[in-house]
Every structure is written in structure tokens, then in C-alpha cells.
Amino acid sequence: MISTYGMAAILIYLVCSPFVASILSGVDRVVTARMQGRRGPSVMQAWWDLLKLFGKESTSVNDIQKILVAAHCFFAVFSGAIFFGGGDLLLVFFSLTMAEVFLILAAYSVNAAYSEIGAQRELLQMMAYEPMLLLTSVGFYLSTGSFAVSDIIRTDIPLICKMPGFFIGLCFILVIKLRKSPFDLATSHHAHQEIIKGLTGDLSGRIYGVSELAELYEEILMLGMAGLFFITSDPVSIVWALIAVAVVMFAMSLIDNVFPRVKWELLLRYSWLVTFFAGGTNLMVLLLQAKGL
């Protein structure tokens, strides 16, 4: 049963996420521009981009594409709603995977070369980050004894103290999830990549807008997961979590600008190494602790 707080959190998530996430990516674009010695666009840019897409004509090769993209958006929003409503982390993980699968199916359905390569690379990308996401959920379970977010946030000390390895691993895959560093992967935000827009290459107008909207919801969910490491039963910890999320966002921009030409082969290899060493070591420590050693 969802508590009143949970309901309120879901409602705030559903209403505010698109706007907050687009402002965040606007700030991110300005920060990136300043790092490159440019003035950069307005902070509102991502929001205007989204509104524009909904005002454009949409052309689609087949009708199934629309349904699949809508399902992608639905599951992305659904996983966020479970998370912010205090639900099960494993359910969030599976629902998020489901959302990705629908987007990949949408890309395969159009039967276009670039979409197809994009979809294949998205699958590789999933292979790179899914183990870490799943391990993080397991880490939360081992440290708190529950998969439910509503129980995890009742902890007395911030979980970052118990699971620093998982945090590093999660930050590493956030680069992929926020569509940052691997510039040739699926639907990276960078222009001049070899597969144009890959996965979303054949979406246009409103349909593309829906997939962008899903991405904004997903962004907030991923940042929420990073914030979960800092939340405790003390309400003041929310401030710490927000600061931590801001630092993580800045670190993402920095990593993206320092390593602008990371390719998918490199990223796949490194994300598994990081998962194995950072996540695996932390997992072992937690397991030993659980056994009372």
C-alpha cells in the first residue's frame, strides 16, 4: 500500500519531472559551453526543444512505431513512479529494462539501416550498464535488508558510507544512462556521430517528442538513484542528497568534456571492469558483514 507521502511524491514526480529535467539539461549545456569557451544556449533550451517537437508534423513509417514509443514512455514514467512512491527497486529495474526494450523494438520496426545499428548498439549499451544497476539494487538490499525504497530511506547513516564502490559504479553507468560519453552509442547527444541519431533516427515530430519526454523522466529517476545513497531518516539529508546530485551532474559534464570521443568498445570493457572491481568488492564486503565476519 502506498503511503500519502508516497502518493504526493509520485504526483510531484509526474508533474515536475519534464520541466526540472529540461532545466537541468539546459544548465548542463551552458556548463558544457563555458567549458569549451562558448556562451552556450539559454537554460530553457531543452524545454523549448521539447515544446517545439510537439508542435511539429510527425511522419512515421508504420503505426506500430507510435505504440512502441508510447509504451517506452509509459514504462519509463512507471519505473520512476515506483521509485519515488517508495516501491521495490527490483521492480524499478525490470520496468526500466522493459522501457528500453520497447524503444529498441520501435527502432527495429522501421527497418532503416541507421535505426537498426542504433538498436544494436543500444543493446550493447544495456549489456554494459544493466549488471551494475542490478548489483546496486542488491547492494541496497544487503545494507538495509529491504529492496523497498521506503525502507531504504529509513536508514540512520547515509548508505554512501556502506556502499562507496556501488556509488562509483553507478556514477560510471550514469554517463551512459544520461546519454553522455560514448559519442557513437545509440542516441548520444553529440552531433557528428557516425550513426546520425541511431535509435531515434527515424522518429520525428511528436513521436520523437514522446521519446524525449521519456528520457527526461528517466534522467530524474537515475539522479534519484544517485541521491538515494545520501538519504537518511533525518529530513535534512534531502539537502545533502540534492547537493550530491548537483555534484554528480557537474562531474558528468566534466567527464563528457574531458573524454569526448569514448567509443562503445572501450566503454563496454571499462563499465564491466568497474562493475567487477568497484561493485564486486563492495558486494563482497557487504556479504562478509552480513555473515558477521
Partner 1 sequence: MRISRSPWLLHYDGSSCNGCDIEVLAATTPRFDVERFGIINTGNPKHADIFLCTGGVNAQNQDVVRQIYDQMPDPKVVLACGICACDGGIFKECYNILGGTDTVIPVDVYVPGCAVRPEAIIDGVVKALQILDDKKRRMKQEGYRSLTSEEYRKQLEEKRADGVKSDA
Quote the cell numbers at residue 204: 520525428
Cα 97 from Cα 102, distance rounded (Å): 9
Please say which residue, 113 or 127, places its beta carbon nearer to partner 1.
Answer: 113
The total number of residues written for the chain in this structure: 293
Q: Single out the residue of 270, 197, 202 nearest to residue 62, CA to CA.
A: 202
Cα 55 from Cα 248, distance rounded (Å): 33
Question: Least distance in Å: CB of 207 to partner 1?
Answer: 10
Question: Which residue is it, cell 515530430?
Answer: 205
Cα 110 from Cα 39, distance rounded (Å): 38
| Contact with partner 1 (CB under 8 A) among 14, 41, 255, 257 | 41
Question: Least distance in Å: CB of 32 to partner 1?
Answer: 9
Site for partner 1 in 124-163 (CB under 8 A): none
Q: Does 38 bind partner 1 (CB under 8 A)?
A: yes
Q: Single out the residue of 53, 14, 48, 69 nearest to residue 220, CA to CA.
A: 14
Cα 145 from Cα 55, distance rounded (Å): 48
Cα 290 from Cα 143, distance rounded (Å): 8
Please say which residue, 131 or 198, places its beta carbon nearer to partner 1.
Answer: 198
Please say which residue, 164 or 205, places its beta carbon nearer to partner 1.
Answer: 205
Please say which residue, 136 or 188, places its beta carbon nearer to partner 1.
Answer: 188
Segment contacting partner 1 (CB under 8 A): 45-53, 70-78, 218-226, 240-248?
Answer: 45-53
Question: Least distance in Å: CB of 22 to partner 1?
Answer: 11
Segment contacting partner 1 (CB under 8 A): 33-41, 101-109, 222-230, 255-263?
Answer: 33-41
Q: At what angle do helices 280-290 and 113-144 cross, to 10 degrees?
A: 30
Question: Least distance in Å: CB of 248 to partner 1?
Answer: 24
3-class SS of residue 263: coil
Question: Least distance in Å: CB of 5 to partner 1?
Answer: 34
Please say which residue, 79 or 188, places its beta carbon nearer to partner 1.
Answer: 188
Cα 224 from Cα 226, distance rounded (Å): 5
Site for partner 1 in 49-68 (CB under 8 A): 49, 51-52, 55-59
Cα 225 from Cα 136, distance rounded (Å): 9
DSSP for residue 279: I
Please say which residue, 57 or 156, places its beta carbon nearer to partner 1.
Answer: 57
3-class SS of residue 182: strand
Please say which residue, 40 or 280, places its beta carbon nearer to partner 1.
Answer: 40
Q: Are 102 and 69 in contact (CB under 8 A)?
A: yes
Q: Does 33 bind partner 1 (CB under 8 A)?
A: yes
Question: Per-residue contact track with partner 1, 190 to 219, x per CB under 8 A?
Answer: -xx---xx---xxxxx--x-----------
- Which residues are at the interface with partner 1 (CB under 8 A)? 29, 33, 36-42, 45, 48-49, 51-52, 55-59, 191-192, 196-197, 201-205, 208
